[in-house]
Chains A and B, each alone.
Chain A
């Protein structure tokens, strides 16, 4: 496979509602920004780009089938090749990886991945219903289809089995909201406390409104290219930031649609098939897991995402990572819920299964030099959701995974200050980061690793 570079990106302002523009024009905001950032004009880029991948989750929200081609049309990209990808909340992450495939395979030299969602066209409770249709409509949806309810069930099990607390979850909310205070693209930024999170209206016990991401209108776009594509762009006058950002790891995993159907495997099967390389090589960790299983833990059950673990393990192997916590400088992960950020720490091997709660409050996933108003035990090690994540930035589903890619490119280019007009969120000397996109109750998960060259 050929090397693939992520050279530029753009994000529209995420907002609760964007009635000022149609979805095509919102995408164009992000697309134009990405083109302008490499110093090209619209006609020149149009001439060079080989094709695109379009990303959006729900035809229901826009009440429009074939929205992808409407975006392609508006962006002036017809008749170049394109296709739409859809995979629930992981749609953006899948789109990024499809664009990567187009380049890595040699099918294209320059490919743009764009995505959007306009969720404001219906009331919040109807939006919840649309999203819940991404659960089995024969068996799950009719029982009380509500994703916050599904995630709340996962976390009650996590709490019971591992002792995770609501205060530990609230640490995630405080971190992400306060990070977003420095991100002008974020839909919400507020200086909140643990108490604020717990005193917010209860949505699905124990998750409060501040434990849950919001619905949004927004778009994002990322430009990927091969070495040949880079030469073509630069020959046309593009000014691509050096050092380059290369995509070095790709991983995907899946799990069953009905959360109730997930297996509950024994210790030996877990160690053989799901444990990280780091976990397999540590006798202490093996003993730790043995003890968990003796107390009744089974994997993945409903407390863990084996799709996330599978995607992570695959991406780490591809990128040559054995200790993600210390070999990644940051992770932009899919924190639709504070609880799912904690679950994902564990899936990605940033900590062991069962230790996500203590990890959340340790400080390891926080940024240095930001006052969170919290007493944190440990120094920052690997910033998680330095942008503010979905909880604060918003979650216009088809755009979300691409937004993560754009923020990751800017982190690795060390251009956060230029784009955010504030360098508080710049991870110092960031060399390697990961983006993580997640669908349903953990049905599709993607993990991609991006690295700064040199």
Chain B
């Protein structure tokens, strides 16, 4: 039998209180008593919308909206990174774009997240994976679909995968995800 929850989930919400207990007088004894007072805690909300620029990496996101996956390559050495990088770390050269959409790809490492950050809680459980591509020197962090999150296995490492793209782009790296290659 599954273990039953023994604790109620806590939330920050509560009543709005106008005024808290305080001594009627401020004589020495009453003021000394304040040292025994429990702390007052209030809610503070903080919201902000940033105008975030992808800068020189923008073409990588533009490619995703067109169902293509780009990588960066140093023209001289050929060192290739799956994540976009405007300049190569070894030569300092400006990199060029290459298309790796159809390059054979495999799972390098993965996990199933059953818990997470607030923003992603509604998506739990989800599978995170690092993908390796033939001829590419570094990996790509992505979501892996088409595997059972309730039955994770180290055998997933090494499986061949291919990219899929959202039809309606969100201009986020999750516009691309990977699935086990069929056939």
Contact = CB atoms under 8 A, between A and B. Distances in A.
B59 interface: no
Contacts of A140: 141, 173
Contacts of B39: 19-21
Given A143-B174, A153-B109, A260 B52 contact: no
B149 to A, nearest CB: 8
A159 B108 CA distance: 12
Contacts of A207: 111
A260 B110 CA distance: 12
Interface in A109-164: 123, 125-126, 128-129, 132, 137-140, 142-146, 148-150, 152-154, 156-157, 159-160
A149 B113 contact: yes
A125 B173 contact: no
Nearest to B121: A125
Interface stretch (B16-24, B79-87, B91-99): B79-87
**Residue among B10, B82, B108 with max Cβ neighbours from chain A (10 Å):** B108
Contact of A146 (B46, B120, B143): B120
Nearest to A151: B111
Contacts, number: 139
Interface residues of A, number: 44
A202 B125 CA distance: 11
Nearest to A152: B111
Contacts of A20: 38-39
A150 to B, nearest CB: 8
Contacts of B141: 139-140, 143, 258-260
A284 interface: no
Contact of B115 (A63, A203, A260, A264): A203
A302 B109 contact: yes
Interface string A268-293: 00000000000000000000000000
Nearest to B79: A263
Contacts of B54: 138
B33 interface: no
Nearest to B85: A261
A142 B111 contact: no
B13 to A, nearest CB: 11
Contact of B111 (A63, A138, A139, A156): A156
A205 interface: yes
A317 interface: no
B168 interface: no
A402 to B, nearest CB: 25
Contacts of A21: 39
B109 A156 contact: yes
Contacts of B29: none
Given A149-B111, A263-B138, A132 B85 contact: no
B145 interface: no
Given A129-B119, A142-B173, A156-B109, A262 B138 contact: yes
A203 B114 contact: yes
A149 B128 CA distance: 7
B161 interface: no
A148 to B, nearest CB: 7
Interface of A: 19-21, 63, 123, 125-126, 128-129, 132, 137-140, 142-146, 148-150, 152-154, 156-157, 159-160, 201-207, 258-264, 302
Given A260-B82, A260-B130, 11 more contacts: A20-B38, A143-B142, A146-B115, A148-B115, A153-B128, A157-B130, A160-B109, A204-B112, A204-B115, A206-B152, A259-B141
Interface of B: 10-12, 38-39, 41, 44, 46, 52, 54, 57, 81-83, 85, 108-121, 123, 126, 128-130, 137-143, 152, 154, 157-158, 172-174
Shortest 5 CB-CB distances between A and B: which pairs? A152-B111, A129-B117, A157-B109, A260-B139, A146-B116
